[in-house]
Amino acid sequence: MAQQVPAHIDPADEAYWSGIRDQYVLNDEVINLENGFFGVPSKPVQQALEEYNRLVNREGSFFMRTRYPQRLAAVVKALADFTGASEEELLIVRNPTEGMNILIQGYPFRPDDEVVIGNQDYDSVDETLQMMQQRGRLKLVRIALPFHPKNDEEIVALYENAITPKTRVLLVTHILHRTGQILPVAKIADMAQRRGIDVFVDAAHSFAHLDYRLPQLGCSFIAAHLHKWLGAPMGVGLLYIRKERVRDIAPLFGDTTHADSDIRKLGHFGTTPPAPELAIEDAIAFHNMIGGSNKEARLRYLKDYWTSRVKRLPGIELMVPDDPQRSCAIAAFRVNGKDAQDVAEYLFQAHRIFTVAPIVNGERVVRVTPHLYNTPADLDKLVAALEALK
């Protein structure tokens, strides 16, 4: 797996991508176009996970007490190399919901502080902020994000216009999970920094989906998934806090061992399964074998492959920006006069195509999320199914 990554792989080179598909064990009875929930690990990652489980169960507490700390440190080092952050700025968590709870509940809010949040941000993050508001810890200010923005500046202006003298934090989702729109996080962060305002970034769907390094977002606080687009086993996420800001976050879990400036003070979770954490290295290796830019280009190619045809069908409206660079793998649509849940059930029952119908602004849409193991033939079947929809 430690081979040189080709400078460029054609996203339409089906011979190459067929070889990548062969690196996955898949259920051929269903066309899975709902990969936004969980990205199936590749064979090398699954095999590594199984070996790590056998190792832990064979060596028991001997492994956990004598070998695990060094192995975990190596994983964090690999994540630092992958993300462009320092090891002192990274903490492995179970998922971004946990990471965001650590940030939101540990941040030094004052009772009158305002947090700006969009109307398409992730439900669990929204609920955490609502809980904090109910406890009198902060006040929420909501903005409505457009489905089809004209440019980045329109989005930046929405956040900037919501700022008041009481604004302390902007909560920004890098890729909106329901529709797939990419928000200009770095530009929003630059604007907020000039105003003395922090930005919390939910990078659950952008991490290892888009080709970037964490410091490039220009934010001090980022939570990400590792089991979605990186392809690590389920149950691992990542929290990034810029080193000089670690001391500003109080532990959510009891800890008196680590210094205020040590990010490990935020990770006192007790005993957690070590095998998924150890397999992060293998997921990084598989990702690097393909290359981040090649992976992003292929995912965008698959999205464009079906959306470019479906948007011409009468009665179907895409809920993702027209500019291909404003989204990647994820896109959503709705059918005039039909409930999206009914459409999702039709796709599955009649064509064995699995999608999901999330609610956006009170209305359901159908979200389609191909992954590297999907093929244009899978998407041909999706298009044909929608053409046949009565």
Please report the pLDDT score of residue 3 as a whole number: 46
Q: Which of 308, 325, 321 is nearest to 211 (CA)?
A: 325
Q: What is the chain's pLDDT, residue by residue, as a tens digit (390 residues)?
A: 344 656 799 999 999 999 999 999 999 899 999 999 998 999 999 999 999 999 999 999 999 999 999 999 999 999 999 999 999 999 999 999 999 999 999 999 998 999 999 999 999 999 999 999 999 999 999 999 999 999 999 999 999 999 999 999 999 999 999 999 999 999 999 999 999 999 999 999 999 999 999 999 999 999 999 999 999 999 999 999 999 999 999 999 999 999 999 999 999 999 999 999 999 999 999 999 999 999 999 999 999 999 999 999 999 999 999 898 999 999 999 999 999 999 999 999 999 999 999 999 889 999 999 999 999 999 999 999 999 997
CA angle 206, 178, 252 (to 5 degrees): 60
Give backbone dihedrals phi and psi of 137, rounded to 5 degrees, phi first: -85, -20
Domain boundaries, the chain: 14-40+291-387, 50-285
Burial of 264 (0-12, 13-18, 19+ CB in 10 A): middle
The answer to whether the CB of 152 falls within 8 A of the CB of 161 is no
CATH number for the 14-40+291-387 domain, one of 3.20.140.10, 3.30.479.30, 3.90.1150.10, 3.30.950.10? 3.90.1150.10
CATH number for the 50-285 domain, one of 2.40.128.130, 3.40.640.10, 3.50.50.60, 3.30.2270.10? 3.40.640.10
DSSP 8-state symbol, 239: E
Q: Which of 180, 88, 76, 162 is nearest to 118 (CA)?
A: 162
The answer to whether the CB of 238 falls within 8 A of the CB of 99 is yes
